[in-house]
Structure 1
Amino acid sequence: MTARDQATRQAGPGGPAPGPAADEGLARRLRALACTAPLHDLDARKANLAGEYGTYAMAEVALAAIDLVTLSMDFDTGADHEEIVARLLPRVAAQAPRRPAAEHERVARWVLDNLINVGSVDRGFRAVYGTFGQDGAYIRRDYDFKLIEEVPGPGGGVYLRTTDEAVNVLVGALDTDVTSAQIAAEVKLDVLISRGRLADAQLAAEQARYRTVQYAETLRRTLETTRRDVRAVDWLRTVPDLITEALDHIADRYRHENAILTNIRRARDEAVDTGHKLRAAELVDIVKDCIRRHTRLQSRLLEAGPLFRAEQDRQAFARPEARAGIDLYGHLLAPLLPLPVERSTRVTDAFFARGTGPRPPGAVRLADLTELLLTPPAPREHLGAELPEPDLVATPDDSRFSDEQLSAALELLQLPEDAPRRLSGLLAEARRADPDLPYLVALLAVHAASPPVGTAHRQGEPRLLFAVDDGTELADPDFGGADLVVGTALLATAPLPLAGADTAAGAGSAPTREAP
């Protein structure tokens, strides 16, 4: 029994025998059909337009729009929306020359807006197709893609750029390797020119130019991602290999395209037929455009390494934004407690109106609005649903120190501001009162080595406990380390009042000054 017969028997009678290669090929063809679906949908939906638009071939206009945007794209910018509409008008007018010019412009704008998918949330298209998993089960997958997207440009403008899917629609392939596809297209172009088939050679030259645009678009997206986050791009292996491969590719293309250009010029000069000579001249312009695009791509490739290093330094050593946090106790609660209720509510209402996050309203659609209006209200009791009785369990007191020990330690650390003491003396005095008390005193002293001055000032505390290491070693039977100098400091200023306590408009801001 052969492998094919065995696979057919395992699949069952009449069932498919899905394999990884066959299933991947099927998925590629389904995605290719999905990319062309928006173009076919234009001709299906043109009957919904108010007017007689049946004479227009919308798919042809859409392909022309994709072609114009692709060839108008630059490395940093894209195509201008109004310019694309103006260049589409002659093609639209050629389909219906007796129609008014306003109708031609409306058709051009309608086709371009539908290629951008204006009106959808993400301005993209989605297709559903099925594949087989490892266990042979049928799985439905979503394929999201775009044909023409709007991107921000320098100076705050908005430009149009075609995606890889749109270029694949033009050249009749999907997910094709850029390098191998361009080499094949240029070899085909060279063979066609040498045989004098200039009509087919022009199509091959246009495909090679589309692949050049796609190659530059891959590099542009990589650099744009690097400007946002250098960690999102593998600059250790993937991008250096891409740059090296692209530079070698461009060097080979220069030699190949210059040879092609020589053959085209020879065919143009030796041609007798006027149409043959005109087509050869158009081929010269296309190949020159390919050489120009390769030159610009090479300059961008040479700038990619310095750009990565500059972005790495900028993002690694960028200063974090200094934003003072809001202390709810010191900034809001403490200043409001002595105020009357009628004045406090104005401040709290203004604070929470600005302190909570914004609530963007949902996008209202007619279907949602109708459903909301026609849905009867749910019956509710007057006092609401009955709350379940909670099961309260007393938590055990597992703290090491008692409240009496904490009070004794705080009393021991109530030092005069002009008479600091050594930690060793405090530990010896605490040990005479309670054997466990030195551990709590040592913990409070270590915490005082980094006192929260700003928090204590905002919360209105007049005194602050601090500890300083002057290099003296601690001599104690239970503890080691530095014999800290523990003392008490008086804060220089009184607590700041809440800005705008008398006016609700000032309640959203809070003072951020601290004691010196």
Structure 2
Amino acid sequence: MRPPNLCVVTATVHHQTPPGAPRPAPGPAADEGLARRLKALACTAPLHDLDVRKANLAGEYTVYSMAEVALASIDLVTLNMDFDTGADHEQVVARLLPRVAAQAPRRPAAEHERVARWVLENLINVGSVDRGFRAVYGTFGPDGAYVRRDYDFKLVEEVPGPDGGVYLRTTDEAVNVLVGALDTDVASAQIAAEVKLEVLIERGRLADAQLAAEQARYRTVQYAESLRRALEATRRNVRAVDWLRAVPDLIAEALDHVADRYRHENAILTNIRRVRDEAEAVDHRTGEHKRRAAELVDIVKDCIRRHTQLQSRLLEAGPLFRAEQDRQAFAAPPARAGTDLYGQLLGPLLPLPVERASKVTDAFFASGTGLRTPAAARVCDLVDGLLTPPLEREHLGALMPEPDLVATPDDSRFSDEQMDTALHLLDLPPDAPRRLSGLLAEARRSDPELPYLLALLAVHAASPPVGVAYRQGEERLLFAVDDGTPLDDPEFGGADLIVGTATLDAAAMAAERAS
């Protein structure tokens, strides 16, 4: 599997200023503006990383500009996703192929499709655990100490659709990367884009006006995404969303925004149409001017359509909250807890004879498998089945081929004898725990590889599964405790754990299994 595409992976570390050292002077490094710029820079890192890692692909892919393809992918997903559903994966790949093919027209179509899918999968970050990116940036705390913080973000994510399919949606970070206005307020950015658009149209700079109109449309999509996430979280858990202040303020602000944008965009649309109708295609420059005006008309019409859809969702937000509040408040609690298959079924049944255990298993699987819906027979299939003559079969069935069995090689690092020796060293009396350093030194005297196995078993014992051992009837449990003592060992570092064994209550376990 391909390693996850992470920008910077590290743990959060706090660096305290030493006593007596001069504290950093307050300045630009201590404000929130620097943190926003660092986050903005981190959002562009996965796009630059694509051009760095394209050399790892099997083949000659240096001719492709992967960051350009990634921006086009974000553009296509953003413009093709709707309020309820996202963009179709295959449709995005199909629309991305002409741009990829334009970079290398002599390459085969299969290679173009591979590049498009590779870029889109890297934007989704397929292969990582949470399919997200992580960056690290530093800020100054209230006490003047320098603190490193993790910033987790996503660019394109896969979401379920209402029809059961999987669709693509761009996040706020992806839209910010696309329009070049990173980590800004949605409403203020939309107003600035509309004012800029109106001024550019009045001055006749339609090429720049088209870019401003596209930026305004991206901001509209981002505004709808904020509302969609709030409504989706409400459907899952109404208590997780602040419907007392945050969401009502968002709805009121969005309704004012939609009403203001309606008036503004209709005025812009009238102005663009006038420019388009007055332009006469006399020469090439005038024809290009008229074409730009026609494209601006389509973009502003799409903005008005998105505002109409956003307004309808805003009006439905209040009734949806009240309906979800009633549904979740009066929902019946679960009738019973889940079944522990080992502790409640397998453990008590193993000592029983087969005739007694089969009655329990038959009752369990009859209730646990659920109902099976019979398939509806079609008339044509029924007629074919009745008219088809029966086939003569062998009495014992067809001859089964002999399988070719290959012995699985034993690639384990430690042998069974080493495991027995390590377990013997860890078989400590309950009242005599030992330090990990002493156990490692004793293991090193008998076998130079044994300390690695012993350290691995001790680390696993730092969080012992007490509940599992209790249900399985274990009488003794290995544990390890960190008391803050550093480990003094030539091969290992960390904490010098206290390793010991604990005795579990066998009588209570027997009583619980009997019950």
TM bin, normalised by shorter chain, reads 0.5 to 0.7
Q: Which residue of 1 aligns with 2:427?
A: 385
Say if 2:114 is the partner of 1:72: no
Is 1:203 matched with 2:218? Answer: no
How many residue pairs get matched? Answer: 359
Please report the RMSD computed on the Cα atoms of aligned residues, expressed in angstroms.
Answer: 3.3
**Partner SS, residue 235 of structure 1:** coil
2:246 matches 1:219: no
| One of 245, 250, 253 as aligned partner of 2:261 | 253
1:281 and 2:294 correspond: yes
Given the alignment, which residue of 115, 120, 123 partners 1:115?
123
Q: Counterparts of 1:323 and 1:384 in 2: how far apart (Å)?
A: 41
Task: Give the secondary structure class of the aligned counterpart of 1:69.
Answer: helix
Deviation at 1:12, TM superposition (A): 8.0
Q: Which amino acid aligns with 1:373?
A: S
8 A contact 2:29–2:139 mirrored in 1: no
Question: What's the counterpart of residue 359 of structure 1?
Answer: none
User: Counterpart of 2:325 in structure 1: which amino acid?
Assistant: Q
Partner of 2:176: 168
Structure 2 unpaired stretches of 5+? 1-19, 281-285, 366-410, 433-515
Post-superposition CA distance 1:94-145 (Å, at most 9, x none): 1111111111111101110010001111111001111111122211111100
Matched residue of 1:219: which SS?
Answer: helix
1:49-128 equivalent positions in 2, closer than 5 A:
49-128=57-136
Task: Supply the AA of the counterpart residue of 2:314.
Answer: L
Shift of 1:283: 0.6
Change (3 A) 1:98 1:227: same
1:23 to partner: Cα distance: 3.0
Give the SS at the match of 1:156.
Answer: coil
Aligned twin of 2:457: none
Secondary structure at the aligned position of 1:373 is classed as coil
Query: Alpha carbons of 1:344 and 1:181: their partners in 2 closer, same or farther (altered >3 Å)?
Result: same
Q: CA deviation at 1:386?
A: 3.1
Residues 1:201 and 1:349: Cα distance change in structure 2 (over 3 Å): same
The Cα of 1:164 is off from its aligned counterpart by 0.1
**How many angstroms apart in 2 are the aligned matches of 1:384 and 1:327?**
30
> Does residue 155 in structure 1 map to residue 163 in structure 2?
yes
What SS does the corresponding residue of 1:98 show, helix, strand or coil?
coil
CA distance in 2, matches of 1:112, 1:224: 25
- Contact map agreement 2:158 2:167 (CA 8 A) in 1: yes
1:32 aligns with 2:71: no
| Cα pair 2:276 2:290 within 8 Å, conserved | yes
Percentage of pairs with the same residue = 81
- Tell me the distance in 2 between the aligned counterparts of 1:49 and 1:380: 44
User: Residue 427 of structure 2 aligns to which amino acid in structure 1?
Assistant: A
Matched ranges for 1:415-494 at <5 A: none
Kindly provide the CA deviation profile for residues 412-459 of structure 1, in whole angstroms up to 9, marking residues without a partner as x.
Answer: xxxxxxxxxxxxxxxxxxxxxxxxxxxxxxxxxxxxxxxxxxxxxxxx
Match of 2:307 among 280, 294, 312: 294
Shift in alpha-carbon separation, 1:373–1:128, aligned structure 2, 3 A: farther
- Partner deviation per Cα, 1:462-481 (whole Å, 9 max, x = no partner): xxxxxxxxxxxxxxxxxxxx
Gaps of 5+ in 1: 1-10, 355-371, 391-516
1:374 and 2:413 equivalent?
yes
In structure 2, the residue corresponding to 1:141 is in which secondary structure? strand
Q: Name the CA shift for 1:345/1:373 in 2 (closer, same or farther; >3 Å).
A: farther
Q: TM-score, normalised by structure 1?
A: 0.64
**Distance in 1 between the 2:73 and 2:252 partners?**
34
**Matched AA of 2:184:** T
CA distance in 2, matches of 1:178, 1:65: 22
1:33-48 mapped onto 2 (5 Å cutoff):
33-48=41-56
CA change 1:326–1:186 in 2 (3 A) is closer
Q: Distance in 1 between matches of 2:424 and 2:359?
A: 29
Partner of 1:140, secondary structure, is strand
Q: 1:384 to 1:32 in 2, by over 3 A?
A: closer
Q: TM-score, normalised by structure 2?
A: 0.64
What amino acid is the match of 2:422?
R
Report the alpha carbon displacement of residue 387 of structure 1 after superposing the two structures with TM. 1.9
Mean Cα deviation higher: 129-138 or 188-197: 129-138
